[in-house]
């Protein structure tokens, strides 16, 4: 089955700096890669996703890049703010067969220091 | 529109007991998935139900089961509870129609936190 590895497990940055979280996946058939943000005591929320026919996607301060050949994808947050502090999870799936079955990375605790 | 609703939010059980958790998906969503979240294992997929049928199953023992009703509401049951079952159980709903763009985007509920003593 699919296996997703996520690094780093913790990341501390100064407000205004950029943060990068990286994930690798094992199944070359995976074609959907969402990122979820989970604030302390709250539910995971989708912040951005990318499909395998796209190499990069941006949404304001957030961007995701995908390298299908190397089987890795990354989350980039620019101009970080204290409210970006949360645990971020990457995930992978193959839409046609896995449907809602996501394989998650183990999460990255991001702390943005004011 | 209302989000994904899970009940109960918190519960405490003892080893050997069983528990039933409930999930009401977003109106119009036909797929309900269940995930177990623990500090050590992260988010682990339990199973997915679509139109009252189990469509996918994760690698959990048979003590973990679920079902979905005609109104798309879903329940999961854990029998013969073990200490290791203590976790946050998250339900997520989606449109579920494969091949349709965005249909597999998950919206999570707030979770049911189970403590087994």
**pLDDT by residue, tens only, chain A of 114 residues:** 899 999 999 999 999 999 999 999 999 999 999 999 999 999 999 999 999 888 999 999 999 999 999 999 999 999 999 999 999 999 999 887 777 789 999 999 999 999
- Tokens of residue A59, six digits: 């949404």
What pLDDT, on a 0 to 100 scale, did the predictor assign at position B59? 94
pLDDT number for residue B95: 87
Q: Which residue of B has its CA nearest to A42?
A: B110
Per the CB < 8 A criterion, the answer to whether B42 and A106 are in contact is yes
The string of pLDDT tens digits covering residues B27-39 is 999 999 999 999 8
Looking at residue B104, its pLDDT comes to 80
CB contact under 8 A, A100 and B56: yes
- Nearest Cα neighbor of B43 from B106, B115, B117 is B106
CB contact under 8 A, B104 and A95: yes
What count of CB pairs under 8 Å joins A to B?
A: 61
Interface test with B, best of A100, A102, A103 (most B CBs within 10 A): A100
């Amino acid at each position: 089955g699919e296996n997703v590895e996520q690094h780093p497990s913790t990341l501390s940055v100064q407000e205004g700096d950029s943060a990068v979280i990286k994930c690798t996946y094992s199944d070359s058939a995976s074609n959907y890669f969402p990122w979820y943000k989970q604030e302390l005591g709250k539910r995971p929320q989708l912040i951005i996703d990318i499909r395998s026919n796209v190499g990069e996607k941006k949404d304001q301060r957030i961007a995701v890049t995908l390298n299908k050949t190397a089987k890795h994808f990354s989350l980039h947050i620019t101009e970080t703010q204290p409210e970006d502090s949360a645990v971020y999870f990457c995930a992978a799936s193959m839409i046609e067969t896995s449907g809602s079955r996501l394989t998650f990375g183990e999460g990255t605790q991001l702390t943005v220091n004011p | 529109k209302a989000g994904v609703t899970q009940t109960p939010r918190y519960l405490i059980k003892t080893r050997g007991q069983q528990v039933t958790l409930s999930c009401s998906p977003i109106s119009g969503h036909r797929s309900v998935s269940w995930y177990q979240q623990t500090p050590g294992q992260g988010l682990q997929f339990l199973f997915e139900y679509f139109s009252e049928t189990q469509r996918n199953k994760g690698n959990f023992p048979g003590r973990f089961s679920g079902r979905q009703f005609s109104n798309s509401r879903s329940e999961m049951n854990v029998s013969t509870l073990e200490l290791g079952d203590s976790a946050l159980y998250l339900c997520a709903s989606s449109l579920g129609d494969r091949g349709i763009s965005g249909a597999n985007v998950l919206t999570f509920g707030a979770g049911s936190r189970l403590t087994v003593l």
